[in-house]
Chain A
């Protein structure tokens, strides 16, 4: 035989690939949330702090559509996406649009306010307790492929995330709306002169971004089995890190960044301490900001005076 491997090495390899598979589904979730961050930033230069909380609302809509309406998981996801698309548009209209001409810090503080509002409004209305995502909606099946443990959860999350990303790419690259979105993000004034309705385009961007976050919310419910009103904060921040890692404002960057963050996180909690799991995400953020603030895919544009 050209090379031999002993049993221990096989086990280590298997463990490694297993972590990779676990990381992929978490990464798919982060990638979906990161897409919303990056699209909104690309178009109005705002870090939408409330984005993680929109994901939380999506998870709750999905939860109630399963428990109250008795829908299946796919319908729950569609309901959550519709509800959050509307929510995203309303938030933009009410809170962000009046601030479009003001400083970016003012907009950021408003976004922080919006995030707190969504979190504590949910606590006020539904209580702070966590809710168990119904198992009946998604009976767990485990498959054993060559020693690798793959659950139908992982398959569901990765497949639906990839489908959504393909649809998003189609919208951005092939449709007129997508063209308008790209035009506004490149140069808003020029886009207005070309007859593009900036307000409408920004609304559509928020709707799409929020719908993706809602889908991610339902996936988080499936992945962790529990949801609570503050569940959006940490995944939101990590997805933001993913967006920065890929280069904020760049759509493929957010996808890659999301997967990298998910895989990195599973490796740290798998091989290191799970207590440091959250610190790693922030450490990555600081490293990128210090070394290449434009992200992996970003181009340096310099500062205009």
Chain B
């Protein structure tokens, strides 16, 4: 009885923190305290968090190295834009279409490729991501290589914020469920997992499809904030960007992915006028993290209430 009451209070506290954070930023935007520069970076931050958390589900928790995340983002972005700009549907329909289309793309690509292992899988997903881009370049309906310009700005702070929260909640709850334990067992030892009766392909595909779906969501949000999308935006360098966040944060740590996404976005903003240096730093991060701390900043640990309690000696 006492225990469940505690849980209830903690749950309310967490919801309050999330709502307070949301309201504070919402107030800052309406009151004009955040100029365009900060709004752009805040948006990229949220989108990057969605991307990093969803890629971490595939790369970190399932242990299947995918290098085609930008491809799913492109599918989502284009589906949403076709819905809102070409067919005149509301943004909600656009977002749903983006998620569905990206999930379907994830399924179509995942089923055949997830039979492959390790580096073969990495190359195959990279190839699929590039194929998506090349196909988009050849579709005249969406203006080929020129892309779509003049997308109305529908990604407001509430949409963005709650999309991000939903992504994090779905991934965290998935990992803590029995599905999640099966997914992690695939990463730890695929042969052993299979011997325990886990249908490894099924769980790999589930993780891949969910990851792709959220990449699609991120694509839809991206398209409706940044005014323009073209196939070139979603090339494999974009996938590498997301990979840097996941690797830096720790393969298999959601909080790590969030922290790394925030850090990388801030770094990108700070080095905006020196793009070459930014990429050199990315490269060094990848190499140095892999050599000295291959599990990433957070490893597979999560930064949670328990961590707070441990650090500040709080009561249980």
CA distance A115 to B286 in the complex (A): 11
Q: Which of B138, B243, B277 is A112 in contact with, Cβ under 8 Å?
A: B243
A286 proximity list for chain B (CB < 8 A)? 112-113, 124, 127-128, 131
Interface size class on chain A is 35 or more
- B130–A109 contact, CB under 8 A? no
Given contacts A285-B124, A289-B124, A305-B191, is CB(A116)–CB(B135) below 8 Å? no
Cβ of B18: which chain A residues have Cβ within 8 Å of it?
Answer: none
A276 lies within 8 A of B138 (CB): yes
Whether a CB of chain A sits under 8 angstroms from the CB of B116 is: yes
Of B87-95, B201-209, B287-295, the one contacting chain A is B287-295
Most buried by B among A99, A124, A240, A289: A289
Picked from B191, B277, B291, the residue with its CB within 8 Å of the CB of A98 is B291
Chain A interface, DSSP helix/strand/loop, else mixed = helix
Contacts of B137 in A (CB 8 A): 275
Partner of B294, one of A102, A244, A282: A102
- Judge whether B120 and A293 touch: CB under 8 Å: yes
With beta carbons under 8 angstroms apart, the residue of B116, B124, B247, B280 that contacts A121 is B280
Q: Complex: how many Å from CA A293 to CA B137?
A: 29
Pick from A113, A123, A237: contact of B287, CB under 8 Å: A113
- A residues 99-140 in Cβ contact with B at 8 Å: 99, 102-110, 112-117, 119-121, 123-124, 128
Known: A113-B285, A117-B283, A124-B277. A282 touches B131 (CB 8 A): yes
Partner of A279, one of B130, B277, B279: B130
Indicate if B174 sits at the interface (CB-CB under 8 A). no
Q: How far is the CB of A134 from chain B (nearest CB, A)?
A: 25
Among candidates B65, B127, B134, B286, residue contacting A285 with C-beta atoms closer than 8 Å: B127
Interface positions, chain B 254-297, Cβ under 8 Å from A, are 276-277, 279-280, 282-287, 290-291, 294
Closest to A98 in B: B291
- Name the A residues within 8 Å of B123 (CB-CB): 47, 240, 244, 285, 289
Q: Please indicate the chain B residues that have their CB under 8 angstroms from the CB of A105 in the complex.
A: 63, 65, 118-119, 122
A279 touching B112 in the complex, CB below 8 Å, given contacts A113-B290, A120-B279, A293-B120: no
Contacts of A283 in B (CB 8 A): 127, 131
Q: Is B214 an interface residue (CB 8 A)?
A: no
Q: Which of A280-294 touch B at CB < 8 Å?
A: 282-283, 285-286, 289-290, 293
Q: How large is the interface on B (under 10, 10 to 19, 20 to 34, 35 or more residues)?
A: 35 or more
A50 CB to nearest chain B CB (Å): 10
Q: Contacts A275-B137, A282-B128; is A106 near B294 (CB within 8 Å)?
A: yes
Neighbouring B residues of A273 by C-beta, 8 Å: 138
> Nearest chain A CB to B56's CB is how many angstroms away?
14
Q: What are the residues of chain A within 8 A of B126 when measuring CB–CB?
A: 237
Query: Please, how many angstroms separate the alpha-carbon atoms of A237 and B243 in the complex?
Result: 18
Beta-carbon contact of B134 and A275 below 8 Å: yes
Q: Does B240 contact A (CB under 8 A)?
A: yes
Instruction: Quote the shortest CB–CB distance from A216 to chain B (angstroms).
Output: 20
**Contacts A99-B290, A109-B243, A109-B247 known; A293 to B116 CB distance under 8 Å?**
yes
Decide if A95 is an interface residue (CB 8 Å cutoff): yes
Q: Which interface residue of A107, A109, A282 has the most chain B CB atoms within 10 A?
A: A109
A114 to B63, CA, bound (A): 22
29 sampled A-B residue pairs with Cβ under 8 A: A47-B119, A98-B291, A99-B291, A107-B290, A108-B65, A108-B119, A109-B247, A109-B286, A113-B283, A113-B284, A116-B279, A119-B279, A120-B277, A120-B280, A123-B279, A124-B276, A237-B130, A278-B130, A278-B134, A279-B131, A279-B134, A282-B130, A282-B134, A285-B123, A285-B124, A286-B113, A289-B120, A290-B112, A305-B191
Residues in B lying within 8 Å of A, measured CB to CB: 63, 65, 112-113, 115-116, 118-120, 122-124, 126-128, 130-131, 134-135, 137-138, 191, 240, 243, 247, 276-277, 279-280, 282-287, 290-291, 294
Q: In the complex, given contacts A99-B294, A283-B127, what are 6 additional A-B residue pairs having Cβ atoms less than 8 angstroms apart?
A: A95-B287, A117-B280, A123-B279, A124-B277, A124-B280, A278-B130
